[in-house]
Chains A and B, each alone.
Chain A
Amino acid sequence: DTGVSQDPRHKITKRGQNVTFRCDPISEHNRLYWYRQTLGQGPEFLTYFQNEAQLEKSRLLSDRFSAERPKGSFSTLEIQRTEQGDSAMYLCASSLGGLPEQYFGPGTRLTVT
């Protein structure tokens, strides 16, 4: 069990650029969640998948954000036309459907300059 991994760990980009993050969940976990965390705050839910189906999207997820989990394994989160307000830690978590505990990756820290 290698845990949840995320790539990259850090990303610095200029405003207006597109960025894509990847999350690899624990292999047998069928649920995958994306959260965003800003300094001094708790994580806030963005979206989640059960297998390849995207089940819910938060109102925080503007139309510049898109997430996929094409084969029910890894997931990508893309942010188009980044803004300074997108600067945050993006956290991925996975769980085994039906169980409440979620297992988090180390996060991707995005800085938009």
Chain B
Amino acid sequence: SQQGEEDPQALSIQEGENATMNCSYKTSINNLQWYRQNSGRGLVHLILIRSNEREKHSGRLRVTLDTSKKSSSLLITASRAADTASYFCATGGNTPLVFGKGTRLSVIA
């Protein structure tokens, strides 16, 4: 079963704009991860945020975590056409991951 939901399900933006996607989860967590999946391919790990962290940055990525609301957000700044992909949040880690349904991001050049 899916742990939570990403929102929105789909997002279309122009190149150079920022993209924000949200994730909600159901149970207590030790960490939350974000993965990217290009069409029909495997998943690539993007960033991990631990339960005692509120914000984390990696390059053009910014992740926030609000454990009181059981939610996380992923911000991609200055988007590029190559960012077109599906983005999933996942809980678990060191155990089987539980994924949401993902956000499909389209970046239009």
Contacts and interface: CB of A to CB of B under 8 A. Distances in A.
B and A form one assembly: yes
B93 to A, nearest CB: 2
A85 interface: no
B96 interface: yes
A110 to B, nearest CB: 13
Contacts of B56: none
Interface in A57-106: 58, 89, 91, 93, 95, 97-106
Looking at chain B, what size class is its interface with the partner chain? 20 to 34
Interface string B40-51: 111111001000
A109 interface: yes
Nearest to B90: A42
Contacts of B42: 4, 91, 104-107
Contact of B43 (A45, A100, A104): A104
B93 A101 contact: yes
Nearest to B89: A42
Residue of B2, B31, B33, B94 contacting most chain A CB atoms (<10 Å): B94
Given A101-B48, A102-B45, A104-B44, A43 B93 contact: no
Contacts of A28: none
Contacts of A41: 2, 101-102
Given A4-B42, A91-B42, A107-B42, A100 B99 contact: no
The 3 closest A-B CB pairs, nearest first, are A100-B93, A42-B99, A104-B42
Interface of A: 4, 33, 35, 40-45, 48, 56, 58, 89, 91, 93, 95, 97-107, 109
23 contacts: A33-B96, A41-B2, A41-B101, A42-B2, A42-B88, A42-B90, A42-B100, A42-B102, A43-B88, A43-B99, A44-B2, A45-B97, A45-B98, A48-B96, A91-B43, A97-B94, A98-B94, A100-B30, A100-B31, A100-B33, A100-B93, A102-B97, A106-B42
